Chains A and B, each alone.
Chain A
Amino acid sequence: MLFNSYEFIFFFLPTVLFVFFAIGKRGHFSTAMAWLVVASLFFYAWWNPAYLGLILTSILFNYAIGKALSQHVQQPHIMRIILCLGISINLGILGYYKYANFFIDTTNQIFHTHMDVGSVLLPLAISFFTFQQIAYLIDASRGEVKEYNFLHYCLFVTFFPQLIAGPIVHHKEMMPQFAKRSIYSMKYSNLAIGLSIFSIGLFKKVILADGIATYASPVFNSAAAGVAPSFADAWVGALAYTLQLYFDFSGYCDMAIGISRMFGIRLPLNFHSPYKANNIIDFWRRWHMTLSRFLRDYLYFPLGGNRKGTTRRYINLMITMVLGGLWHGAGWTFILWGALHGFFLMVNHAWHGVRRAFQHDLSKSSCTGRLISRLITFLAVVIAWVFFRAEDLASAVLIIQSMFVFHSAAMTLPKDSIAYTGILLAIVWFFPNTQEWLHRYRPAFNYPNHKQKVLLPTWRASRATAILMACAAFISILYLTRDSEFLYFNF
């Protein structure tokens, strides 16, 4: 079930909220939790009931492994074996569903063989719930978490606002919140904030992301058909996709945070104006923050991070980013996208090294310097997105060539695409994001509520704001019929 669907907005969400609070009000907290688990599994099964078995098996397996780890925390040798088994099986299942076809196709191409595993359908959210549970197992092996209650564990994995496309949460971030009795009674403040964030997210997704997608898709489709776009089309197409992905993912994250807040649960921040980043290091602190955190804590650090010298640091960065690219999809375009970002990060760290050698203070920079570095960062990100979105390497190269080799071919996209792209870029660069606008009410649990400079007046629970939010929700609902899907669901 999609957040931007009628069945979710009109039936699923109101029903789940109503029953949850009705049960919670009577003090049956475990029953309310069980209701959330059942509702979340129903939410998952709506896509394809056949894969319900897979997620349930994964939960049962990881719960058992986590329990075993907690029980053997004093026996590091046994614990290491259990942890290796747990991680290997998780990655094995993920690898089969996500990468089997890719590896078989690649092997067939290289060795001219004819192996066939049939078409393996990628189960929804498998990347997210697998990573979340791997993080849990590692935390359990470190003695940082323990979970002996199966219902609690189920809720931690399946809680529907974050089940499908993140944020990737830690057990220790979620379960203490569910333990609070206060969340089981309905609070108008949570409802008001949650509805507002959800409406903003829905608007971003349905109006802005799906709107700009109409300019991105024709350019990438033409390139896939071997037709080189014109200079203007290539730039508008690449920028339109950059913005589509931004509003798609940002909108999804807002909706997840908003829905969760209606239940009184704060999710971690996952997206924080990444196109305002001054460099690529900063970009990865703002884009898909919980995935970056996962890759940093469970891949980059265990590889040695920056503790084993500059060369190893760069190698570790490249490995992390290439695997990060592969996580997004089984294809050479994703691998290249990850490698490009790995390269950008290496350049960025090297540049910082040079500046440090000249005893520059990295925390200080001029306004012009920030502007230039922000533009360079943005340009690098746009180029990388072309590889991310393109059907294959050939079409990505075709678009990149058109972007940098001016030729007089006429623009085929409508002229208003330039204006629309410009307006959305202005929103991205100059307007506050949802968290900044609502900072007084701490929309995400890891977001500070200190006063910030923002262009717009901050969110207040006034009647005017309610009317504005209701209109945003209404317009979005009118446009729900537009052909759409969340881009991140594919990952």
Chain B
Amino acid sequence: MHRFVQTFLTLLITLIGVTAAINAFIDPYEQFHFTSVDGINSEKYNGGSRISKSIKVTTHQFSTLIMGTSRAEIGFSTSHLAWQERPVYNLSLNAASMDEVYKVFQYARAQHSPKVLFLSVDLLMFNRHNKLPIDFERSLFSGISPFHSAIQSLLGFDTLNQSRKTFRRNIKGIKSYYTPSGQRIGQYVFKKPITKYGQRALFWNALTSQYIQNTFTYKNFVFDPKKMLALKNIIHICYKEHIKLYIIIPPIHALQLETMVQMNLWHDFERMLRDILSIAQHTNTPVYDFTSWEGINAESLPHPQDIHKHMTWYWEASHFKETLGNKVIKAVLTDKKEEAFGLLLNTQHIDAYLKQKRSSRALYLKRHQYDIQSLWRLLQKHGVSINPTPFEHYSQNTL
């Protein structure tokens, strides 16, 4: 029995020690900073994880925070010249709900209060089915101690797996998908599928898998008013603590808007805009809407035969390129506007604005018949019945 215990403990301690040493050396979440060796562990690939971002906002002080979902994470550059308060960090998180954004914001301001918060708000952030992801629980955002987080990172299978991937990618010389300031680099993320299938295929695939088929996004969307309360709290904190807050409804492609319409989410979208405006008006918080059925957002998809042609403004329906993100930043933070893009909303003109928005759909349908027919066929294939005139009997009372 003595030998059994000895063998058991020796082997277990050795295996644990080796695992901890590998994870500490490779350091995929940039937590320990022991050493950085080119071609071994210098490039990190987990900069977008909750674990990594929570460590970053704990150890660094940022004057401006960009928050939101993957749209903001990919689209908004931290190096844009219009940022007045620097350094800027992109604290946007993939598939974040408003609850999560509120928790993350609270954590971040408790570490080092920012001067500016650039908050990008999507409809899905108010989806009742949008729950906290598992890696949130493992991050400092969840309230676990840095010591506990470090132990998890040293001994977790996930970290070991990430260490293996980090090592392999470093050997192959692959660049990180993330900038040190938290932005996900679209060119790296979408390069492979675009090169392989073409941008049109990527566009439809992303729309299908993430929105049309996904049970917990558009398909069974339920607007959760409690999540609006989280936004209200953010607005209140920013007002109280003199943090300059900008609320942005980021651009999405017109076909994504049409998908929302056909999947009966337009009521919710308008409700979201009205609710945000009504809570933001008390603190004079600016709310900008960059969604539309025209201009940049109505960019045509490449022809099916032309798989080498790239879109100028969009990666796919939901994710816009940094060039478009730069236009948004410029429109919000400076007075120089090259063209009419985005609108500062207010409660006085919201009804007229929404009416105009609904009517502009007809023009898009007329001008982009090929794309719209493709979308409708796709939706019908997945059991969505198409209503070509959804706004026919639309009035404010239906809200």
**Interface residues, chain A, with chain B CB atoms under 8 Å away:** 6-7, 10, 187-189, 191-192, 195, 222, 225-227, 412, 461-463, 465-467, 469-471, 473-474, 477-483
When A225-B220, A478-B19 are in contact, do A473 and B157 touch as well, CB less than 8 Å?
no
Contact residues in A for B128 (Cβ distance below 8 Å): 225
Question: Which residues of B (2-41) have their CB < 8 Å from a CB of A?
Answer: 2-5, 7-9, 11-12, 15-16, 19
Contact residues in B for A189 (Cβ distance below 8 Å): 1
When A6-B152, A226-B220 are in contact, do A192 and B138 touch as well, CB less than 8 Å?
no
**Interface residues, chain B, with chain A CB atoms under 8 Å away:** 1-5, 7-9, 11-12, 15-16, 19, 128-129, 134, 137-138, 148, 151-152, 155-160, 215-216, 220, 222
Question: CA–CA, A461 to B4, complex, Å?
Answer: 6
Q: In the complex, what's the smallest C-beta–C-beta distance from B147 to chain A, in angstroms? A: 10
Q: Establish whether residues B11 and A481, one from each chain, have CB atoms under 8 Å apart when the complex forms.
A: no
30 pairs of residues in contact across A and B, judged by CB atoms under 8 Å: A6-B151, A6-B152, A6-B155, A188-B1, A188-B2, A188-B5, A192-B1, A192-B8, A195-B8, A225-B128, A225-B129, A227-B220, A412-B215, A461-B1, A463-B3, A466-B3, A466-B4, A466-B5, A466-B11, A467-B11, A470-B7, A470-B12, A471-B15, A474-B12, A474-B15, A477-B16, A477-B155, A478-B156, A478-B160, A483-B137
Q: In the complex, what's the smallest C-beta–C-beta distance from A208 to chain B, in angstroms? A: 15
Q: In the complex, what's the smallest C-beta–C-beta distance from A194 to chain B, in angstroms? A: 10
Question: CA–CA, A471 to B215, complex, Å?
Answer: 38
Task: Classify the secondary structure of B's interface with A.
Answer: helix
- Can you name the residue of chain A whose Cβ is closest to the Cβ of B154? A6
Contact residues in B for A195 (Cβ distance below 8 Å): 5, 8
Question: CA–CA, A6 to B160, complex, Å?
Answer: 16
Contact residues in A for B220 (Cβ distance below 8 Å): 225-227
Contact residues in A for B2 (Cβ distance below 8 Å): 188
Q: In the complex, what's the smallest C-beta–C-beta distance from B66 to chain A, in angstroms? A: 28
Question: CA–CA, A189 to B3, complex, Å?
Answer: 10
How many A-B pairs have beta carbons closer than 8 Å: the answer is 82
Contact residues in A for B156 (Cβ distance below 8 Å): 478, 480-481
Question: CA–CA, A227 to B128, complex, Å?
Answer: 14
Question: CA–CA, A470 to B112, complex, Å?
Answer: 44
When A189-B1, A478-B19, A479-B157 are in contact, do A466 and B8 touch as well, CB less than 8 Å?
yes
When A6-B148, A477-B16, A478-B160 are in contact, do A465 and B137 touch as well, CB less than 8 Å?
no
Contact residues in A for B151 (Cβ distance below 8 Å): 6, 10
Contact residues in A for B157 (Cβ distance below 8 Å): 478-479, 481
Q: Establish whether residues B160 and A467, one from each chain, have CB atoms under 8 Å apart when the complex forms.
A: no
Q: In the complex, what's the smallest C-beta–C-beta distance from A374 to chain B, in angstroms? A: 35
Q: In the complex, what's the smallest C-beta–C-beta distance from A35 to chain B, in angstroms? A: 22
- Can you name the residue of chain A whose Cβ is closest to the Cβ of B158? A481
Q: In the complex, what's the smallest C-beta–C-beta distance from B43 to chain A, in angstroms? A: 23
When A412-B215, A481-B158 are in contact, do A188 and B16 touch as well, CB less than 8 Å?
no
- Can you name the residue of chain A whose Cβ is closest to the Cβ of B2? A188
Q: In the complex, what's the smallest C-beta–C-beta distance from A306 to chain B, in angstroms? A: 46
Question: CA–CA, A480 to B19, complex, Å?
Answer: 14
